[in-house]
Structure 1
């Protein structure tokens, strides 16, 4: 939904709204039309922002239509309930990770043993759940991602690339699982009809399971899933790439939600 200046794509000058600042400087934007569409969407549907960002990174964003009853951060590792992390969900997920996966310490040590400053710009741990690299794409060895993912899989982890970031993630930490939990809570509280359809959008391999689990989904014509030519019978692909794809995705949500209301 949000884009840095470098990710706008080949578009003429746009009317944009800055929705994220870092150290006081503008960082991420939506088009003004996309911002209006997101506000309108919150009046038609239950909107649950869902992201791989950490809680701290998510809280930098000022999305139109907020506040949100629920948000999902850290690739499903955290549920924010009225802005507060749910400790019970996090503890349950952490126990499952411990039972099914190698430890973050083991995986992190192995990852650092395979990398060096020739292509890695940063190594980060996200909310003590997973780790990721920021890499120099021009210097990244062609076989690095495939070889690293092959090491991770038997140990209950996976590796994927999103632009300059290479994520190493426990397989049990996934957006679809956490979105299903949020849906259960909304149904139990009477805030969501059990017959309501689930609609989702995403552009990376970490989104694929969520898109597959949805009644209908959309992805932009850019990003990791575009590079993988990933598709699914219930998937729509935008015609635009870059920030215009964000507009198209929100228009698709609005049209789908209008049909639900009718």
Structure 2
């Protein structure tokens, strides 16, 4: 067995590590495609970021942590793979060598049932509040949560706040990430899954017991994970930027768009050789 890793890196993917053309912003850097959908290129990293991700995966325990479903995560060819662990479905699933952990999922399902409303009740209530004039897609995700793809310009201005209020009374919450509005049970969160993987890595001798956990993410669904980490970084774009979200010691990148991915990877790498700076406050 190799020596235990000195650092755990839990990182969101979309708009943190990987970027669509629309999310990338202006860049003159060379890029590589890391995801295709129906044969068409979809998501990118800069070539430099891809190299840094491969290097980081050798030196640290890297944990891809995404709200994507298992199927959606499977489309990504993230540099540094294969991953011993990955967190998908916003923490609802843990993949072990690419296979969903059934014990973890049973525990999540039980916690959702104990926490309030079930998915069927939530979906029914949501369908009664939307219409085709502004909702482009209604999707379920791994039988855990649901999300809408919306026309932002046509979305009723009070919809998200009103819907989130209804959800909060029933053990759920609602948040927006780009054109997607997620409806998520409180029991399904990235930070709990990250803590579980950390415990397993330490127990197996693959992570030092005193290793710090670093985290990166751009959306409201990442906030709890960032707050639970020893140190955290977010890009200067996305939902958390719009909300002005911060916490003591949080680093915010100078760059926005795809260049922020490089900056985040540099920040992770710097932590391998010494304490990373607190960085620019939010």
**TM-score, reference length from structure 2:** 0.91
Which of 163, 178, 198 is the matching residue for 1:163? 178
Please say if residues 101 and 155 of structure 1, whose CA atoms lie closer than 8 Å, have aligned partners that are also in contact. Answer: yes
Match of 1:117 among 107, 132, 136: 132
Post-superposition offset of 1:38: 0.3
Separation of aligned partners in 2, 1:85 and 1:172: 18
Secondary structure in 2 matching 1:43? helix
Following TM superposition, the consecutive aligned residue runs of length 4 or more in structure 1 with deviations greater than 3 angstroms are none
Q: Which residue of 2 aligns with 1:66?
A: 81
Which 5+ residue runs of structure 2 have no aligned equivalent?
Answer: 1-16, 276-282
Whole-angstrom distance in 1 between the partners of 2:160 and 2:167: 10
* Structure 1 counterpart SS, 2:273: helix
Determine the C-alpha separation between the residues in 2 that align with 1:190 and 1:11: 41
Question: Alpha-carbon deviation of 1:258?
Answer: 2.5
Instruction: Give the alignment partner of residue 9 of structure 1, picking from 25, 42, 63.
Output: 25
User: Distance between the aligned counterparts of 2:139 and 2:192, measured in 1?
Assistant: 24
Shift of 1:6: 1.1
Match of residue 47, structure 1, among 50, 57, 62: 62
Structure 2 distance, partners of 1:257, 1:25, is 36
CA offset at residue 96 of structure 1?
Answer: 0.8
Q: How many angstroms does 1:8 deviate by?
A: 1.2
Give the drift of 1:148.
0.2
Of 245, 250, 257, the match for 1:230: 245
Match of 1:239 in 2: 254
Contact 1:44 1:258 (C-alpha < 8 Å) held by counterparts: no
Bigger relative CO (Cα 8 Å, ≥ 6 apart): 2
1:52-94 C-alpha deviation (Å, 9 max, x unpaired): 0000000000000000100000000000000000001001110
Secondary structure of the 1:259 match is coil
Offset at 1:166? 0.2
State how far apart, in whole Å, the 1-side matches of 2:114 and 2:163 are: 22
Return the match for 1:186 from 192, 196, 201: 201
User: Partners in 2 of 1:7 and 1:95 — Cα distance?
Assistant: 36
| Residue 173, structure 1, aligned to residue 159, structure 2 | no
* Alignment-derived partner of residue 31 in structure 1: 46
TM-score, normalised relative to structure 1: 0.98
Q: Hey, what's the Cα distance between the residues in 2 that align with 1:255 and 1:233?
A: 19
- SS of corresponding position for 1:257: coil
Task: Confirm whether residue 88 of structure 1 aligns to residue 80 of structure 2.
Answer: no
Is the deviation greater in 70-79 or in 38-47?
38-47
Contact 1:174–1:206 (CA<8 Å) still a contact in 2? yes
Aligned to 1:145: 160
Q: Is the 8 A contact 1:15 1:32 kept in 2?
A: yes
Tell me by how many angstroms 1:10 deviates.
2.4
Q: Is the 8 A contact 1:73 1:79 kept in 2?
A: yes
Q: How many residues align?
A: 259
